[in-house]
Every structure is written in C-alpha cells, then in structure tokens.
Chains A and B, each alone.
Chain A
Amino acid sequence: MDRIPILKLGSALLVTIQVDMHDRLAKALEDDITAKIMTTGAKGVLIDISGLDIVDSFMGRMLDTIASVGRMLDATTVVVGMRPPVAITLVELGLTLVGVKTALNVERGMALIGISVDDFEEVDRHDGG
C-alpha cells in the first residue's frame, strides 16, 4: 500500500498531503506519524493540507487524533494550509477541530512550534528525510 512520506526537519516532522486519501491511507498515516514521534523524539508535527480539496469527518478525526496522541507524546501538531472552502465546509459539517492548532502556511506553522526558517539550512545538511 502507498504511504505518505514523513520528513524530519530538525526537531519537527513535516507531512505534506498531496493526494486524495482513502481511509486506510489516512489510518496508516496516523499510525506512521505517532510511531515517528516516538522514534525521533520530535517536538512538533506540521501537516500541510493545502493539497486537499476536501476534509471530511474521517480525515478530520484523523487530524484530531494525531494532535491528541502527539500532545501526550510531548509533540505539538499544527495543521497548515487549509483552503477556505474546506474550512467553511468543516464548520458546517460540525467539525471544528478544537484540539488542533492551525496556521495559514508552513512558515507560520514552523514559528508556532518554535522552529525558525533559518534552521532549515542546517537541517538540509544533516537530514535527508
């Protein structure tokens, strides 16, 4: 089965979702991220959903679960890049993702978890992903 790649950037994990996920793929991503928080000791998880044209209740619950489990493992999860129509639809659906931090883009998300863009150069040298 396909997997969504998880990149390690310094003390954070970066996940960019660019495909329409079926439920098993979403579940696998949830498991992979929580496992990777443990093995890397990451303090932050950035999930870029700018490539998603919908987030339904299953995907919303996945984001919520990742954030909750991450918090218990001492990692902050930030969802970035949500498209405005997706946000409007989620609210109407009744899913407000109260437990999930959000930011408009990756750069602001990085700032939220205390990583500055300047750290990237160093990361590029040490980490291939």
Chain B
Amino acid sequence: MTGGETIPIRESSDVIRVRAEVRRLAIGLGLGVVDQTKIVTAASELARNTLVYGGGGHAVLEVVEGKGRRGLRLSFEDHGPGILDIGQAMIDGYSSGRGLGLGLSGAKRLSSEFEITSVVGEGTRVVITRWN
C-alpha cells in the first residue's frame, strides 16, 4: 500500500483534476484502457456527488495490494447533509438533486468493490476499488 493522494473537491474544475489523477494512477497500475475508462468514469460520478450533494469535500486516491494483486482504491468524503435512505439513493433514476440518478448505482457497477456510509447531518463516505 502506498501513501494516498488527497485532492480537495471544491469546484467543478476539481472533478477534472480527480479524473486526470485517477487516469494517471490507473495507467501506472497497468489497467487496460476499458478498465481505465470505467474507473475514471466512476470517479467522475462520485467526485461530482461530493461536490453537488455533499457541498464539497475531498478524494483520497491510493494504490492498494491484496490477494496477490494490486488495485486502485478511491475514497470520497464530504460533510454534507448525508443520505437518509441509502437503498433508495442506490436505485437507478432516483436523484435528490440533478443528474439522472445514475451516479451511485453506476459507480458501483463500474467498480470491483463499493462501500458507502452516510450519517444524516454529518456526511457521506463512498469507497470504491478496482482490482487489476
């Protein structure tokens, strides 16, 4: 495991920075171009959620190892209003704000592992991993 890289998410240009850094790490990890595209797209969805729904926060990008393989783990954390009903928020098409409501469910489908914790009034943390 290497020390993670933290990127603040305060404005929409930060989402671009997250995409570029995830792309760089995915290439370094040797992911194929389809897997690169999937993880960068998932990161874009989650970074936007952090910005739009969470009112900003940060992303931590790290290369991890397990079961003899390496992967990319991305954590997105905000101190926004939190999600009242995570099950509901994971349904395709459901959205409490803008977008098509594919952010969370889509990011989950594009990742190997997906984990979400949210406390109303405290914030939300989503962690995804893509194994090589």
Chain A residues in contact with chain B, CB under 8 A?
A: 20, 22-24, 53-58, 60-61, 83-86, 88-89, 92-95
Contacts and interface: CB of A to CB of B under 8 A. Distances in A.
10 closest pairs, A vs B, by CB?
A: A85-B37, A93-B106, A22-B12, A56-B44, A57-B102, A85-B34, A23-B12, A89-B37, A54-B41, A94-B102
Residue from A20, A55, A56, A58 with most neighbouring chain B CB atoms (10 Å):
A56
A56 B37 contact: no
Contact of A89 (B16, B48, B110): B110
Contact of A53 (B12, B37, B106): B37
A57 B37 contact: no
B10 interface: no
Interface string B1-25: 0000000000011011001100100
Given A54-B44, A94-B102, A22 B16 contact: yes
Contacts of A60: 100
Interface in B78-104: 92, 99-100, 102-103
Interface residues of B, number: 26
Contacts of B105: 94
A57 B100 contact: yes
A22 B36 contact: no
Nearest to B47: A56
B38 interface: yes
A89 B34 CA distance: 8
Contacts of A84: 34
Given A56-B48, A85-B33, A95 B23 contact: no
A56 B36 CA distance: 13
A23 B34 contact: no
A61 B15 contact: no
B15 A89 contact: no
